[in-house]
Every structure is written in C-alpha cells, then in structure tokens.
Amino acid sequence: MSLNNKNILLCITGSISCYKSVDLYRRLKKAGAKVKIVVSSSAAKFISPYIFESFGEEVFEDDAFKSPLSHIDLSKFVDIILIAPATYNTINKFASGIADTLITLTVAAAPDKPKLIVPAMNPNMYANKILKENLKKLSLFNFSVISPATGAAACGDFGEGRFPEIDDIVFEVESALKEKRLKDKKVLVTAGATKEYLDPIRFMSNGSSGKMGISLANAALKAGAEVTLIALNLNIDNGSSIGGCAKYVNGRIKVINRTDFAGLKEALLDEFKKTDILFMAAAVSDYSFKEKSPIKIKTKDVCETEPTPTLKIELIQNEDLLKAVSKIKKEGQIVFGFAAETDSVLENGRKKLAEKSLDYIFINDVSKDIIGSDENEGFLINKSGEIKNFKRESKESLAEKLIEEIS
Ligand SMILES: Cc1cc2nc3c(=O)[nH]c(=O)nc-3n(C[C@H](O)[C@H](O)[C@H](O)COP(=O)(O)O)c2cc1C
C-alpha cells in the first residue's frame, strides 16, 4: 500500500466542502496511512467529529488549551500535515504566523515537516490577492498547495475554488513523501495498445490496458521527473482520471494521444530526442495491414451452391521501434523495454535485451493472466545480465519499484 505506516495529520477547517474530507480520510486509510484528525471549531459546524470517532479514530478538537502538549505531540507524530479543506482564514493565518488554534499551533511547531494545503472556497475568495500572495509566501516554507478544481461553487458562482478530486489529493500526499530521485530528469512512457485499421470500422489490436505504463508515468512524476505519456487508445482527456485508481493519470503529466503504429512512431521518435529515460510499455502491433480500405468492406452474398466467400488480407511487418530508438540513442539516455512472452521467458528476454541494445528489460510471462489485469509479475534484466524476480503485486507498486531500480 502506497502510504503504509505513514503518519498523516488531517486538519479539517470550516468550508462547505468539509463533508468531502470523510472520503479523503477513508482513501488515506485504504492506502495504509495512520491518520490523526483535528477538526476546527468552524468545521465542526459542517461535519460532526463523531463520524471519524465512529471509524475508531482519535479526533482532536481545535482547542489548544484542552490538552497542554497536544500540538507538540502531534507535530512530532506527523510525516505530513494535510489541511483539507483549507479555509481562506486558516491559510492566511499560517502565512502571518498566527498560532491561536490547535491547527495553526501544530503547524507552527512543525516547520520542517511537509504541509499540504487543499484550498476550498468561493472563486472570488480564491482569486483574492491577499490569499494569492500568502500562498506564494507559504511555498517558501515547506508548504505546497493543490490547486482547486474549477466549476460551480455552492453559492452558484463559477470559477476556481472547488475541493479537488480525492485521487489528486492522495497522489500529492504520496508524492510529497517520496524522495525526488528523478529530479530534473525527463521521462517518456508509452502505454496502451496500437489499433491497426483495416477499414474505417475494423481494426487489429490486443488486450493491453495501459495500466503498467500509466503506473510508471505516475511513479516517475512522484519521483520528481517531468513526464510525457504517449497514450495509445486510452481516451485520456488532458491527463485526468479515466475511471478507477489503476487508470488515474495525474494532470501534471503531458499526454500525447495516438492510435496506430505510424502515429506512435512519429511521436516516439520526436519525443525521444528530449528524453533521459524511456519506458516502452505499450503493446505495439508487429504487423499492419498492407492496404487499408477507405470505405467499409462489404460482405458478399453467400450462395448455397458455391463455397463460402473468403477475404484475403495481407499484413506487412512493422519496424521494431526499440531498435529504431536504440539507433538514435545518445550517451546517458536510458531505454527500458517490456516484453510479453509465453514460453522460454528468460531466454527470450535476454535475447531481446541484446538485440535491441536495451539498458533494461522487464519480461512478463503473459501466460499468467497479466494482460489487462491490475497486477503484474516478471523478471527485470539489466545490461550486465543481472536478473531480479518480481512476485505478483499491483502494477502501481511494481512501477514504484522499477523507478527505484533505475534511479
Ligand atoms: C455557510 C458557510 C460556508 C463557508 N464556506 C467556506 C469555504 O468553503 N471556504 C472558506 O474558506 N471559508 C468558508 N466559510 C468561512 C469560514 O467558515 C470562516 O472563515 C471560519 O472562521 C473559518 O475558521 P477555520 O479556518 O478555523 O475553520 C464559510 C462560512 C459559512 C457560514
């Protein structure tokens, strides 16, 4: 679990979106975090602290005088302080050094701990220059901010100020707790399956879900890299969530959507020039149709006295993109390939690593129901021939491990 044994202090302040912090709390717990909660006096008017107590949590009232050293104890307990939702009032207090509540006092006692602010307020309040200046100031002092979503506020005003998606908040918490091993590195990931069209409707493809590539892109971003994802047929809309955690794509990832081999090749060779590390996780078709019909291919009438009509299709072999990339590879660039094998898994993996001049190859034994699954297992082989076996685990956690391996 991504937040295993991490200590998180969830501070809830008095916004109309307080109720969303219950979902947030549950997601943090599901990710393995230990969570303590402080509910401000205003927040307690919007949601009852009893909700969290019902889940068995210790909830602190925002009264620093109730228990003499709770702010010091809490500041020592935390790996990260998450203020969600964070009000206009509390954010500006942080920036002014005011410490008159348990939340502001605990934050004051934890200058070296990471603090993540999730502003949620009316769009005019969020646009207020006092707040904007104070958020800028706080970024110099171990605070980071998750930009609110844009949409209609509870009062009917439209603009930026809504509580963001829970996926985005959990991602940023995980990211804030990760070592930035890939800082200043540019990472390119390909994910998904190519579709080779026979006519405007019919195509040849495979069952790759893109989850491994997406997990690698997210993991590289958390490790501090600038990430570009070439997404094949994944319907990613400007890098947002495409349903379900396994397909969550953080909005800071640059997404290039492509369909077929030709589109992938063009984007890959162009982007590779600007890349330090390439993860080639897409399932690329080895063949394309020699001819593509511009109109739908019609069926012929079956005549009972004659044999069933057949359609003859010719396929041409596609260029090997990993070989193409290795040819233009410059000193210091890393190419990480993936291979799906059903037999002689290690032998075939070693052969591909050498033939395609790769730095790493991860070999999946796809006979083990991996394609399209949320989990993966396989062998990592590096250039020196060292082999590491990775047992079955979620694609997200495997991606984190592979990023650690190469960094
Ligand atoms: C109905 C209502 C809704 C509010 N919603 C918000 C909000 O979404 N964001 C915000 O910053 N303040 C909001 N406020 C104002 C804060 O609750 C108020 O500034 C309060 O003093 C915040 O205290 P705290 O920061 O200690 O929780 C709202 C107030 C009311 C009465």
Per-residue model confidence as pLDDT tens digits over 343-367: 888 898 999 999 999 999 999 877 7
Q: Same domain for 161 and 198?
A: no
Q: What is the C-alpha separation between 241 and 395, in angstroms, rounded?
A: 17
Which residue lies with its CA nearest to atom 2 of ligand 1?
A: 16
Q: Report whether pLDDT(21) > 60.
A: yes
Nearest to 178 by CA among 146, 136, 225, 139: 225
Is residue 181 assigned to a domain? no
Q: Same domain for 75 and 139?
A: yes
Number of domains in the chain: 2
Q: Report whether pLDDT(241) > 60.
A: no
Q: Same domain for 47 and 121?
A: yes
Residue 397 belongs to a domain with what CATH number?
Answer: 3.40.50.10300
Q: Same domain for 133 and 202?
A: no
Which residue lies with its CA nearest to atom 1 of ligand 1?
A: 16
**Predicted TM-score (pTM) above 0.85:** yes
Q: What value does the CA radius of gyration of the chain take, rounded to a whole number of Å?
A: 26
Residue 132 phi, psi dihedral angles, 5° rounding: -60, -45
Q: Same domain for 90 and 208?
A: no
Residue 63 phi, psi dihedral angles, 5° rounding: -125, 105
Is residue 2 assigned to a domain? no
Q: Same domain for 155 and 248?
A: no
Question: Is 155 part of the annotated catalytic residue set?
Answer: yes
Nearest to 184 by CA among 221, 226, 144: 226
- Is the distance from the beta carbon of residue 40 to the nearest atom of ligand 1 less than 6 Å? yes
Is residue 302 assigned to a domain? no
Average pLDDT score over residue span 88-93: 98
- Is the distance from the beta carbon of residue 92 to the nearest atom of ligand 1 less than 6 Å? no
3-state DSSP assignment of residue 158 = strand
- Is the distance from the beta carbon of residue 12 to the nearest atom of ligand 1 less than 6 Å? no
Q: Ligand 1 pocket check: which of 87, 93, 103, 160 to mutate, most ligand atoms within 8 Å of Cβ?
A: 87
Average pLDDT score over residue span 159-186: 95
Is residue 12 assigned to a domain? yes
Q: Same domain for 348 and 226?
A: yes
Q: What is the C-alpha separation between 154 and 221, in angstroms, rounded?
A: 33
Is residue 119 assigned to a domain? yes
Q: What is the C-alpha separation between 280 and 191, in angstroms, rounded?
A: 7
Q: Ligand 1 pocket check: which of 89, 101, 157 to mutate, most ligand atoms within 8 Å of Cβ?
A: 89
Q: Which of 176, 195, 225 is the last residue of a domain?
A: 176
Residue 29 belongs to a domain with what CATH number?
Answer: 3.40.50.1950
Nearest to 253 by CA among 192, 322, 188: 188
Q: What is the C-alpha separation between 294 and 240, in angstroms, rounded?
A: 33
> How far does the centroid of ligand 1 lie from the alpha carbon of residue 90, in Å?
9
Nearest to 127 by CA among 94, 144, 154, 150: 150
Query: Could you tell me the residue range of the domain that residue 366 belongs to?
Result: 186-295+309-406
Q: Same domain for 49 and 116?
A: yes
Q: Which residues contact 210 (CB under 8 A, 6 or more apart)?
A: 191, 192, 193, 231, 232, 234, 247, 281, 282
- Is the distance from the beta carbon of residue 98 to the nearest atom of ligand 1 less than 6 Å? no
> How far does the centroid of ligand 1 lie from the alpha carbon of residue 57, in Å?
24
Q: Is the preceding omega at residue 85 within 30 degrees of 0, hence cis?
A: yes
Is residue 331 assigned to a domain? yes
Task: Give per-residue pLDDT as tens, 42-85.
Answer: 999 999 999 999 999 989 987 767 776 789 999 999 999 999 99
Q: What is the C-alpha separation between 257 and 264, in angstroms, rounded?
A: 9
Q: What is the C-alpha separation between 407 and 404, in angstroms, rounded?
A: 5
Q: Same domain for 115 and 206?
A: no
Q: Same domain for 89 and 29?
A: yes
Q: Which residues pair with 158 in a beta bridge?
A: 152
Average pLDDT score over residue span 97-107: 95
In sequence order, what E strands does 164-264 have?
186-192, 196-197, 203-204, 226-232, 254-258
Nearest to 43 by CA among 73, 74, 7, 83: 83
Q: Same domain for 200 and 159?
A: no
Q: Same domain for 200 and 255?
A: yes
